[in-house]
A and B are shown apart, each in its own frame.
Chain A
Amino acid sequence: MILMNEPIVQITEATRTYHLDGTAISALRGVTMEVRQEEFISIAGPSGSGKSTLLHLMGGVDLPTTGEVRLFGNVTHRLTDRTLSNLRLLRVGFIFQRFFLLPMLTVEENVLLPMLEAGLQAQRRGERLEDLLSYVGLAHRRRHLPGQLSGGEMQRAAIARALANRPHLLLADEPTGEVDQQTGQQIGRLLQRINGEGVAIVLVTHNPELAALASTRLTMRDGLLS
């Protein structure tokens, strides 16, 4: 149970070092930050500055080399894969630059996946699917495969999938990186609407217009937040 104003993500002095061909690369060099409920944070910065790495630590798909990440009060590096996966499944939504919709599944099957994995009852699943497809404006495209959709439609389908289990936190990694400007604006408005309904959003983007939608704007440079 997360109380109002209690941070849902707490990052304390987190570092992340990768080893590539024997060379240590510091992607994060001691980052401390919080994400609170209903907050909308954008993180901008040049390529390779550590934005995506920070997003991955927040979502529990990566663990800090040193320091600590608390996700909904849980220290991520102390959790089992099962618990961490359940946290991601039920409380965190991910949106990727390349959408990562499963190409052999229709839009509705892609959106249903997290609900099936969470074991949601068929009736509730069906109702939730209808709501989500209407919400992102894809009800008429429900039986189409991702390959039959435009970039904007694919990203909206990916957003519907990310919202399937009513997450408290939505992590978006360059969500407009593969769409044109007008579609990017539509995605931005959709994210604003989602945030307005109580979902905290952390958005990594190069797009200044999209970043400007956030209530808190951060910049990363050389693995540090400013």
Chain B
Amino acid sequence: MVSFLAWKNLRRSASRTVLLIAGVSIAGALLFNMSMLAEGLETSFEAVLGRLGYEVRVVLRGTLPFEAEALMPAAAQTAVSIAAHPSVAWAAPVLATNIYVLTPHDRATAFALGLKPELAGVVSITHGIPGRGLIINPELAHALQIGPGDVVRLATSVNPQIGTAERTSVATVDALGEYVFDLRSQRTLALPFEELAALLELRQGQASFIVVKLKDGAGPDAVVQWIETTFPALDAFSIPDLVSRVRGQLTYFNHFAAILSAVSVLVAVLLIGAVLTLAVGERLGEAAALRALGLRRRRLVLLVFLEGAVVAVVSAPLALLLGAALSQPLDAILRSSPGLPQDLHFFVLTPQAAIRTVILLLLTATIGGLYPAWVAGRLNIATTLHQEIQ
């Protein structure tokens, strides 16, 4: 009976209820957005790392993520040693540096990756067929107006006085591709590890870092520990380690999200509390009559709480839909900041964020119903009936 009455009570002031639901939905949408923001970057970062195709990254001690100038000596031999570990499927050295790309009419700097064939997963080919040549990203292709089949020169430096390229080699563009970790507007290319090593005149197997792919079912922790013990000059990081390091740097976002979430919850509590208090105040006579007819105090209190709960339950799906829609432009605004990998997202829709929002909305309705429920619960039947007849 109480749920039936709660529903009827909300319907009797339909416009007020609709406005209340709209208000709670908007507050809930903001709450959902903040919930997505609180864990979005971390979730997105973890997803990007997961797409790279390796589980452990090895760098010179203290140089995470890597330093172009700090090359790991004998990285090729170290990679062979790591690959011999029973839990490791393969280990590959990677070179990363900035180089010049020259065409007959133009030139541009680009971030160059020297990759072993095992690391094909870091780039998604969009045009052409990768071979022994270059895989360039669309930004570089656009900057130099080049594409698959074009021949370019690569140079490690350009003389600032006379503008001539130094240490050059000729390469053919094989394919266009999107790199998982490209920064916005970054120009990137990849070429075989040996080709880039030759261009940089590295003759002793140096590399910027090593990436390690584990065998199916192998845990990264034991391998990480083994690498750090066996090669004391190196740091090894599993994906959870990297995510954990990023988490520490996201405290700002978490605080921001927590403060705005608290404001959203407060607004929803005040909305529900104000409207229910008003509604209970208008219906004191009816409430007293219901009590006189045999409705227990607890049931009357439950009736008020249920009205708040119905508002929260109806608002929740609207809040989720609105929040999901709002998160798109908000994400686009934040992702337009310079220096961010383009595959990273700030607002990531996860089941956890949705569940957390629904739970918080229900909690909000309960807290919002506290005062009006208290007013209903302490109602003196006789006095109220007497006052209503005056």
Interface residues of A (CB under 8 A from B): 18, 52-53, 56, 59, 61-62, 81-82, 85-90, 92, 94, 96-98, 100, 102-105, 109, 113-114, 116-118, 161-162, 165, 173-174
Known contacts A90-B294, A96-B385, A104 near B9 by CB under 8 Å: yes
A142 to B12, CA, bound (A): 19
A163 to B386, CA, bound (A): 22
Known contacts A103-B12, A104-B11, A61 near B294 by CB under 8 Å: no
B298 cross-chain contacts in A, Cβ below 8 A: 81-82
Residue pair A94, B292 in contact (C-beta under 8 Å): yes
Q: Please give me the 9 A-B residue pairs with the lowest Cβ-Cβ distance, nearest first.
A: A89-B294, A100-B289, A62-B382, A104-B12, A116-B1, A56-B382, A61-B381, A85-B296, A88-B294
Interface residues of B (CB under 8 A from A): 1, 4-5, 8-9, 11-12, 285-286, 288-299, 380-383, 385-386, 388-389
Considering the complex, give the chain B residue whose CB is closest to the CB of A87. B294
Q: In whole Å, how far is A176's beta carbon from the nearest beta carbon of chain B?
A: 14
Interface of B: prevailing SS:
helix
B381 cross-chain contacts in A, Cβ below 8 A: 56, 61-62
Apart from A88-B294, A104-B9, list 5 A-B contacts with CB within 8 A. Answer: A61-B382, A94-B292, A98-B389, A102-B8, A114-B293
B12 cross-chain contacts in A, Cβ below 8 A: 103-104
Considering the complex, give the chain B residue whose CB is closest to the CB of A62. B382
Set A59, A81, A98, A102: member contacting B296, Cβ < 8 A:
A81
Residue pair B286, A100 in contact (C-beta under 8 Å): yes
- Identify 21 residue pairs between A and B in the complex whose beta-carbon atoms are under 8 Å apart, listed by A's number: A53-B386, A61-B288, A62-B382, A81-B296, A82-B296, A85-B291, A85-B297, A87-B294, A88-B293, A88-B294, A92-B294, A96-B292, A100-B285, A100-B288, A103-B12, A104-B9, A104-B12, A113-B5, A117-B299, A162-B293, A173-B385
A102 to B388, CA, bound (A): 14
Considering the complex, give the chain B residue whose CB is closest to the CB of A114. B293
